[in-house]
Structure 1
Amino acid sequence: MVPDQVLTTSVPVHGDDDPLMTPGEVARLLRVDPVTLGRWARSGAIASVALPGGHRRYRRSVVAAILATAGTDPR
């Protein structure tokens, strides 16, 4: 699980080479419930991309940075 810290990181400008991940994929990697992930996104603790339909996606580089900070291998 991610430590009790703010999950924001400074991430370089994103291009098309930084794929988006679904909440389910990110939640599995961070070992949290998708509802918790959504709560973090709404509070600004983790950066997300809002799609026109209201769904959220997360940039792979942001998730990798969080995992690196938490000391977890992002496989």
Structure 2
Amino acid sequence: MKLIKNCEELKTSLDEQKAIHMYELLYFLYKKGKSNRKYLKAIYKIQYHLTKHEKNINLEWGKFIEAMDSMYGGILF
């Protein structure tokens, strides 16, 4: 509770933090290998690749993984 009540004094405020996007979480779980990859792919499809518009602006699953691999490389693991 002190971290929340005294966040300015303790410098524990979340004001400066960036949010984690769902696609980053899906990628992390995919690379970690602890989750069912079939389900992760399904969640990605529902979230980012369901409509025609989403299919036009978002990568399909395999290309998404490749793009994230090239972006994050060996940083995560």
The alignment's TM-score, normalised by the length of structure 1, stands at: 0.32
Looking at secondary structure, tell me which structure has more helix per residue: 2
| Structure with bigger RCO (C-alpha 8 Å, 6+ apart) | 1
Larger Rg: 2
Looking at secondary structure, tell me which structure has more strand per residue: 1
